[in-house]
Copies of this chain bind each other. A is one copy, B any other.
Amino acid sequence: MSGENLIHQKNIKLNMSRRIRRTPFTKKVEECGVSDFTVVNHMLLPKGFKNSVEEDYWHLRKEVQVWDVSCQRQVQISGPDAEKLVQKMTPRSIKKMETGKCFYIPIIDETAGMINDPVLLKLDDDMFWISIADSDILLWAKGIALGSGYNVEIVEPDVYPLAIQGPKSEDLLVSIFGKDIKKLKFFNFKVFDFLGTKQIIARSGYSKQDGFEIYFKGFETHFNEIELGEKLWDIVWDYGQKFNISPGCPNLIDRIEAGLMSYGNDFTRENNPLECNLEKYCKQEDDHDFIGKHALRKIQSEGIKQQMRGIIFDGEPCKPIGVPLPVYSKNNKKIGQIASGIYSPRIKKNIGLSMINRDFWDLGNEVFINTLNGKNRKGIITSLPFPD
Contact = CB atoms under 8 A, between A and B. Distances in A.
A170 to B, nearest CB: 30
A104 interface: no
Give the interface SS of chain A, mostly helix, strand, loop or mixed: loop
Contacts of A148: 147-148
Contacts of A8: 16
Contacts of A147: 143-150
Nearest to A140: B139
B16 A13 contact: no
A159 interface: no
Contact of A14 (B12, B142, B264, B265): B12
A291 B323 contact: no
A57 to B, nearest CB: 16
Total copies of this chain within the assembly: 2
B22 A323 contact: yes
A335 to B, nearest CB: 17
B136 A140 contact: yes
Interface string A1-28: 0000000111111111111101000000
Given A17-B320, A18-B323, A20-B38, 17 more contacts: A11-B13, A12-B14, A12-B36, A13-B37, A17-B322, A17-B340, A42-B134, A109-B139, A135-B136, A139-B143, A141-B143, A143-B145, A143-B147, A144-B144, A144-B147, A147-B148, A148-B148
Interface of A: 8-20, 22, 35-39, 42, 47-48, 109-110, 115, 134-137, 139-150, 262-265, 291, 320-324, 339-340
